Structures are given as structure tokens and as C-alpha cells.
């Protein structure tokens, strides 16, 4: 059997298209659920319906875990109530709650009623937390033992929950009030004497994230301390659940998508559906507003050009280098903003770092601007002498004017690009929102003012 995912997907699609359901079932059993999910999002509705019908309850639950949440909810809607109940029973708690959070209130209420008492209690507990918080993303299927247990008692305790626990390689140690004290590894339990107390072999690592903290904080903690999972606690440090590495990957993808979209001026929460499954209307709704605002702001560039129109007529060389000066500001300003936003996302910068950051970016921008300005000035001096040969100024003065304005524009743009995200953060706004599109519009206007200001001082 060929295990190449692309070939398997083509064979699956061909079998479904031909109505060869038995063959499709055989192919499905040889495929990873993640590969099937990748094919599923591109299938027609009739093919989707047939594919879902070929899975049993346990297989369908495994498959649903890899689907975008909106697609997974659509699949559940197409099942009978007993089928939905069976799938919910097989799903891990955190994935079950992700689906419930995506549902409309009426559908969510109906789905909760299908759950077993244990699952219902877990769902109601987790739904208390915002869906983008650590508590909203945690799983309650974790293993814990008390510090005053012996190894024998701990192993017996773990045997009772081994099937329900999502992660057994890390076992958390708690006191009688369920406050986290540390953790113990499974191998330590395995190779220790049965009479040894857990308190003697545990470590005292109590790193944890608060349940109401942003989900991104949990990912940052896992990356910083190289954790396989991060415990989630309440204000009393009682252990509520944990976020595992696979959840961290999903969170990181969501946060990265959100940042990229905001930097491009796309508003609203990230869409869970794939690009092709998202309607044109949704795309327009998320992208039109910011594009319209920036278009209106860009009109100010036109007023600046109108004010300096006579200067362009008197010095044709200014027209040639105008786009370059403006673009250089947008490019370097965007670079500075990207570097600062990344550093802020990693927790390297705070609003109190504003002066240091702006000063550093000014030096970087000044040096970059000096090198580029000098290069362009030399190029003008040696190759553009015939452009304005009848003008009152020399080509040398023109080269100096363009070089200085270019250096000043790049220096100013890097300062603006670094300062705006940090000022936005201080004002409790999302730094990504004021990134590349807004900065580009702003530095376009400042660039024109710098460019024509230098030209008037040096040439006229």
C-alpha cells in the first residue's frame, strides 16, 4: 500500500467520485486523519457526507479533531443525536469545548444536553472561561497525585484513570487542597521503590498559568521554559487543567494568523474556515473597512503634492526620485514595526522601553539612510546631469537634496515604525493594527514633507 499522502488523497477522491464506498473505506483506514481532513475541506458537500458515513464513532471523533472548528461543527450538525452523543463521548474535553464554543447558543444548549453527566459537568466548567483564555483551551484529562502518597498508592491511583488521561508522561503533584506543588515523571514512579513517598522523588517546579490569562501567555511560557505541557490554575493555585503541546501548536497558529491579518489591515476575529470555504462576503466585510480608512488618509498625500506642484515643474529630477524616497520610508518603517511587534509578542519589550527602542531604531535608520542616501547621491551626480541642465541649480545640489531627504525619511520612518506599536500597546490597543498599512500611509505623508522641504531649502 502506497503511503504517500497526496497519492492516497487522489485515490480517496477518485473512489468517492465513482461511488466505490468499499474501496474508499479501505483507503480511509490506511490514511492519517490529518490527511483526510486536508482533503475534506476541499470536497463537495455530497462527497463530505459520504466520507463521514464511512467512519465509526471512534474514527469520526479522531477525524473531527483535525478539522477546522467550523467544518467540525457542520459535520456534527449532520449527525443524528445518538451519533453526536457517541462522538462527543470519544472527543477529548478540550476539543469538545472548542466545538461547543463555536456553536450558536441554541445548538450549544442542545449539544450539551446530549452529553453524559461527567462530560456535561466538564463542559459547563470549561465554558465559564473565554475561548481565547488558558482556561478555555485547557484539558481536564490530566494525571495528579498527592505528595503524601507512596509510589505504590500513586501507581494504583494512575491505573484507575489511565484511559482518560491525555498526558501521562507528566504527573502533577498536589496537596490536600489540590494546590500544585510540583510534578513527578512516570519513569521516576516506575524505577522507585514502592514504599517511597512522592514528596521524596518529585521536583518542586510550580510553573503555571492563570486560567483567565490569554492563551498566548501559556504558549510563551511553554517556549521559554521548554515545557511539554503547562498547568492551568485558579487564583488560589489550585490545579484546574493543563495545556498540552498539541494545543500550543494550534494556539500559535491562531495567534500568528491573527497578527498577520491585523498587520495587513484585516479586521475581526480570524475565520476558522479555509480560504476557499470562506465566502466572498466575509472576505469583503473583514477587509473593506480598514482599506477605506487608509484610502481616505492617503488623500493627504495628494494635498501635499498639490502644494508642491510648482517645485516638481521647476525640477524634473524631483519627480524621478519622489517614488523611491516615499517607498524607502514605507519599507524601513514596516521593517521597524515588524521587529518591535515581534519583540513585544515574545515579551522582550514593555511600554517602558519606548525611549530605548526609538533611540535604537533612530540610530539604525540613520545609518541605513546615510548609506542609501550617499549611494543615490553619487548615482545622481554621475548619471543624471542632463535632466535639468537649464535649471538654476547644479546637479550636485540636486544630488545633495535627494540624498539628505532620503536619509532623513528613512531615519524618521524607522522611528515612527518603532514608536507606533509601542504607543498603541500603552493605549491598550493591538499593536498589529497600526503596523504596515497604517505606518505606510503615515510615512508617505511625512516623506513628501521631508522631500519637498529639503528641496526648497537646498535648490530654490
360-394 tens-digit pLDDT? 999 999 999 999 999 999 998 888 876 666 666 78
Residues 171 and 185 sit within 8 Å (Cβ to Cβ): yes
pLDDT level of residue 209 (50, 70, 90 thresholds): very high
Q: Is the pLDDT of residue 290 over 80?
A: no
Q: Indicate where the chain has its CATH 1.25.60.10 domain(s).
A: 5-129
Reported as a single tens digit per residue, the pLDDT across 167-199 is 787 899 999 999 999 999 888 898 999 999 999
H/E stretch holding 370 reads: helix 354-383
Rounded-to-integer distance, Cα 42 and Cα 416, Å: 43
How large is the angle between the packed helices 395-426 and 354-383, nearest 10 degrees?
160
Give domain 280-458's CATH superfamily.
SLC41 divalent cation transporters, integral membrane domain (1.10.357.20)
Would the pLDDT of 342 be above 90?
A: no
| Cα–Cα distance, 341 to 460 (Å, whole number) | 41
Q: What percentage of the chain reaches a pLDDT higher than 90?
A: 31
Report the length, in residues, of the chain: 460
Those residues with Cβ within 8 angstroms of residue 449's Cβ, 6 or more apart along the chain or in another chain: 304
Task: Write down the H helix ranges in 42-133.
Answer: 45-53, 57-64, 69-77, 81-90, 93-102, 105-113, 117-126
The answer to whether residue 258 scores a pLDDT higher than 70 is no
Name the segment(s) of the chain with CATH classification 3.10.580.10. 137-250
Domain covering 137-250 assigned CATH 3.40.50.1860 in the classification: no
Asked if 244 and 218 touch (Cβ cutoff 8 Å), the reply is: no
CA distance 108 to 376: 63
Specify the pLDDT at position 343. 84
State the helix-helix crossing angle for 33-40 and 5-17, rounded to 10 degrees. 60
CATH topology of domain 5-129: MgtE N-terminal fold (1.25.60)
SS3 state of residue 80: coil
d(CA 448, CA 300): 10
pTM for the full model?
Answer: 0.62
Please give the residue that has the higher pLDDT: either 287 or 339. Answer: 339
Summarize the chain as % helix, strand, coil (round to 5).
65, 10, 25
Amino acid at each position: 500500500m502506497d503511503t504517500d499522502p497526496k497519492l492516497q488523497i487522489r485515490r480517496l477522491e477518485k473512489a468517492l467520485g465513482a461511488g466505490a464506498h468499499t474501496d474508499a473505506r479501505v483507503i480511509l483506514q490506511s490514511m492519517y486523519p490529518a490527511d483526510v481532513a486536508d482533503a475534506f475541506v476541499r470536497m463537495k458537500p455530497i462527497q463530505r457526507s459520504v466520507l463521514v458515513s464511512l467512519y465509526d464513532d471512534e474514527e469520526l471523533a479522531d477525524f473531527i479533531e483535525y478539522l477546522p472548528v467550523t467544518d467540525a461543527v457542520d459535520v456534527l450538525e449532520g449527525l443524528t443525536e445518538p451519533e453526536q452523543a457517541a462522538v462527543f463521548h470519544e472527543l477529548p474535553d478540550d476539543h469538545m469545548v472548542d466545538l461547543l464554543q463555536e456553536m450558536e447558543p441554541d445548538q450549544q444548549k442542545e449539544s450539551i444536553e446530549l452529553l453524559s453527566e461527567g462530560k456535561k459537568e466538564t463542559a459547563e466548567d470549561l465554558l465559564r472561561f473565554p475561548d481565547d483564555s488558558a482556561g478555555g483551551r485547557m484539558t481536564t484529562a490530566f494525571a495528579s497525585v498527592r505528595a503524601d502518597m507512596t509510589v505504590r498508592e500513586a501507581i494504583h491511583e494512575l491505573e484507575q484513570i489511565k484511559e482518560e488521561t491525555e498526558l501521562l508522561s507528566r504527573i502533577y503533584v498536589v496537596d490536600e487542597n489540590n494546590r500544585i506543588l510540583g510534578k513527578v515523571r512516570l519513569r521516576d514512579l516506575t524505577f522507585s521503590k514502592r514504599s517511597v513517598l512522592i514528596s521524596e522523588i518529585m521536583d518542586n517546579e510550580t510553573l503555571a498559568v492563570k486560567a483567565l490569562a490569554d492563551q498566548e501567555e501559556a504558549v510563551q511560557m511553554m517556549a521559554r521554559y521548554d515545557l511539554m505541557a503547562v498547568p492551568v490554575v485558579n487564583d488560589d493555585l489550585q490545579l484546574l487543567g493543563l495545556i498540552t503541546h498539541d494545543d500550543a501548536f494550534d494556539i500559535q497558529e491562531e495567534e500568528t494568523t491573527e497578527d498577520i491579518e491585523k498587520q495587513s489591515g484585516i479586521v475581526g476575529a480570524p475565520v476558522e474556515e479555509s480560504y476557499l470555504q470562506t465566502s466572498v462576503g466575509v472576505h469583503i466585510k473583514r477587509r473593506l473597512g480598514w482599506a477605506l480608512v487608509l484610502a481616505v488618509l492617503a488623500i493627504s498625500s495628494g494635498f501635499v503634492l498639490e502644494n508642491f506642484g510648482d517645485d516638481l515643474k521647476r525640477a524634473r529630477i524631483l519627480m524621478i526620485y519622489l517614488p523611491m524616497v516615499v517607498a524607502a520610508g514605507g519599507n524601513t518603517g514596516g521593517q521597524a514595526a515588524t521587529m518591535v511587534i515581534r519583540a513585544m509578542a515574545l515579551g522582550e519589550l514593555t511600554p517602558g522601553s519606548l525611549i530605548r527602542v526609538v533611540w535604537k531604531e533612530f540610530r539604525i535608520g540613520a545609518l541605513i539612510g546615510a548609506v542609501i542616501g550617499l549611494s543615490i547621491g553619487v548615482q545622481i551626480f554621475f548619471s543624471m546631469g542632463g535632466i535639468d541642465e537649464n535649471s538654476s541649480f547644479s546637479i550636485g545640489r540636486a544630488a545633495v537634496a535627494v540624498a539628505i531627504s532620503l536619509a532623513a525619511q528613512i531615519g524618521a520612518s524607522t522611528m515612527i515604525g518603532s514608536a507606533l506599536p509601542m504607543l498603541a500597546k500603552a493605549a491598550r490597543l493591538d499593536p498589529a493594527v497600526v503596523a504596515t498599512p497604517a505606518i505606510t500611509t503615515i510615512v508617505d505623508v511625512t516623506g513628501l514633507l521631508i522631500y519637498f522641504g529639503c528641496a526648497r531649502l537646498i535648490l530654490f
